[in-house]
């Protein structure tokens, strides 16, 4: 049988335009809501309006990236609705084309959009949200990141009334409480170098670092050895862990290297692994949204009106959002395996959509 390429291209183009329109509308709504929230958060601070606007624009790609599956869902529903109301689906069926054939262009389109979103759009969004978080730390939180992890080890920065300290360690255990092979650079309030501490280990306690086998070097003085040395600190374990880079600031291509580096440094990379698998599953989730949309659109004449279609689509979108949040929360806590938590929304949605279409067409 000769494939009806003209029909495929026509249906695919209709779905593409509808999805683009839904995506633009969702981006506009997301920007307005997020911008108002930023204005509220910066209302008590003297933050220039231009800076707040820049922050909103920088975070917009990251927010819109998360809304892509829902744009695909509602855009596909709208396109299928229009095709049903114009009886173009009826004509396609009468010519011997099955529902799976005129859904194929939309499914393939969703896969391509999903791959492009992960491979191209995600690196752009992660770079922009990284800049947003830097501005947020400066203007909203009032402090910059305390922790950086690299192949050379981890770096911590702390400050108090006496000055600043920069801590370097080759590794960590107990999620950052215990550091090994430690070097601490001491600075005064005027950022003048005041000393250096070399030690085997350093343990974060309440209000202090407990440093073992410390060699303290102060300019102009002889090096001193301390079997146990204490350095005051305002850091807590929670603040150290919160200073990790957000998964959203790392692109799909950079995440595997960061996961390996964090694990080698002794930190848990569970949420980064979960984020990477969630991104990898996005093309399949986008395709599943097409099947879910078809479940309601193809039954439009039987349901008897557009109101029921809209309600069913909104409920399905809300349920998917809730279900995804639940599985990701379980995965982040280690209750559910990472792969299962990240991939189950896509596969369950796809199987549910396919089963409903089979029931409508062949049941």
Residue 36 lies in a domain: yes
Co-location of 170 and 299 in the same domain: no
Residue 252 inside a domain? The answer is no
The mean-pLDDT minimum among 24-38, 142-156, 243-257, 341-355 falls in 142-156
Q: What is residue 243's predicted lDDT score, i.e. its pLDDT?
A: 62
Q: Report if residue 247 sits inside a domain.
A: no
| Residue 1: per-residue pLDDT | 45
Q: How many structural domains does the chain have? A: 2
Let me know whether 28 and 134 are in one domain. Answer: yes
Mean pLDDT along residues 74-80: 88
Query: Has residue 248 been placed in a domain?
Result: no
**What pLDDT was estimated at residue 19?**
94
| pLDDT average, residue stretch 207-224 | 87
* Chain centroid offset of residue 345 CA: 16
Q: Judge if 83 and 180 occupy the same domain.
A: no
Query: Distance from CA of residue 358 to its chain's centroid?
Result: 34
pLDDT value of residue 274: 92
- What percentage of residues in the chain have a pLDDT greater than 90? 24
Same domain for 131 and 159, yes or no, is no
90 or 6, greater pLDDT:
6
| Domain span including residue 131 | 5-142+265-362
- Res 110: pLDDT: 94
The pLDDT value given to residue 284: 94
Q: How confident is the model at residue 60 (pLDDT cuts 50, 70, 90)?
A: very high
Of 17, 18, 10, 55, the residue nearest 35 (C-alpha) = 55
81 and 183 belong to one structural domain:
no
Name the 3-class secondary structure at 64.
helix
> What is the average pLDDT value for the chain, to the nearest integer?
83
pLDDT for the residue numbered 145 = 53
By the 8 A CB rule, do 191 and 162 touch? no
Q: Give 337-342 contacts, CB < 8 A, sequence gap 24+.
A: 338/270, 338/273, 338/274, 338/277, 339/277, 341/274, 341/277, 342/274, 342/277, 342/278, 342/280, 342/281
Confidence of residue 16 (pLDDT cuts 50, 70, 90): very high
Grouping H, G, I as helix, E, B as strand and the rest as coil, residue 21 is: helix
Sequential DSSP letters for 250-263: S-TTTHHHHHHHHH
Residue 110 lies in a domain: yes
Give the pLDDT mean for 66-70: 90
Point out the domain boundary residue: 188, 208, 242: 242
At 77 the pLDDT is 87
Q: Mean per-residue pLDDT for 95-103?
A: 77
For residue 24, what is the enclosing H or E element? helix 5-41
Residue 40 and residue 235: Cα distance in Å, rounded? 28
- From CA 124, how far away is CA 65, in angstroms rounded? 10
The mean pLDDT of 82-100, rounded to a whole number, is: 76
Residues 19 and 127 in one domain: yes
Asked whether residue 270 is domain-assigned, the answer is yes
- pLDDT tens figures, 287-346: 999 988 888 776 655 445 566 766 777 787 778 888 888 898 888 888 889 999 999 999
Statement to judge: residues 12 and 135 lie in one domain: yes
- Which one, of 139, 142, 332, 342, lies nearest residue 241 by Cα? 332
Instruction: Provide the pLDDT confidence category of residue 142 given band limits of 50, 70 and 90.
Output: low
Q: In terms of pLDDT, which residue wins out, 248 or 312?
A: 248
Specify burial of residue 181 (Cβ count, 10 A radius: 0-12, 13-18, 19+): middle
Note whether residue 60 is domain-resident.
Answer: yes
pLDDT band at 72 (very low <50, low <70, confident <90, very high): very high
- Is the dihedral angle over the CA atoms 15, 21, 22, 23 positive or is it negative? positive
DSSP annotation of 245 reads P
């Amino acid at each position: 049988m000769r494939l009806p390429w003209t029909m495929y291209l026509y249906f695919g183009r209709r779905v593409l335009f509808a999805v683009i329109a839904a995506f633009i509308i969702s981006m506009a709504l997301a920007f307005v809501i997020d911008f108002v929230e930023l204005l509220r958060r910066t209302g008590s601070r003297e933050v220039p309006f231009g800076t707040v606007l820049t922050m909103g624009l920088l975070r917009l790609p990251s927010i819109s990236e998360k809304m892509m599956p829902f744009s695909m869902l509602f855009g596909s529903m709208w396109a299928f609705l229009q095709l049903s109301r114009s009886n173009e689906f009826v004509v396609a069926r009468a010519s011997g084309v099955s529902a799976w054939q005129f859904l194929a262009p939309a499914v393939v389109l969703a896969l391509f959009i999903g791959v492009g979103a992960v491979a191209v759009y995600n690196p752009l969004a992660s770079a922009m949200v990284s800049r947003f978080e830097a501005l947020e730390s400066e203007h909203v939180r009032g402090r910059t990141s305390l922790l950086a992890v690299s192949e050379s080890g981890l770096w911590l920065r702390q400050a108090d009334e006496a000055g600043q300290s920069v801590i370097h360690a080759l590794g960590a255990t107990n999620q950052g409480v215990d550091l090994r092979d430690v070097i601490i650079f001491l600075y005064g309030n005027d950022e003048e170098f005041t000393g250096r501490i070399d030690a085997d280990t350093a343990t974060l306690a309440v209000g202090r670092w407990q440093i073992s086998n410390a060699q303290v070097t102060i300019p102009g003085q002889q090096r001193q050895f301390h079997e146990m040395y204490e350095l005051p600190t305002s850091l807590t374990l929670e603040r150290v862990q919160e200073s990790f880079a957000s998964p959203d600031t790392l692109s799909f291509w950079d995440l595997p290297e960061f996961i390996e580096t964090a694990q080698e440094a002794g930190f848990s990379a569970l949420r980064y692994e979960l984020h990477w698998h969630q991104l990898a599953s996005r093309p399949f989730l986008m395709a599943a949204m097409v099947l879910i949309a078809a479940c309601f659109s193809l039954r439009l004449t039987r349901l008897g009106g557009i109101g029921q279609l809209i309600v069913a689509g909104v409920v399905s979108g809300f349920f998917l959002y809730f279900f995804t949040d639940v599985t990701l929360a379980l995965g982040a806590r280690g209750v559910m395996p990472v792969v299962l938590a990240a991939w189950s929304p896509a596969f369950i949605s796809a199987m549910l959509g396919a089963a409903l279409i089979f029931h409508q067409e062949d049941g």
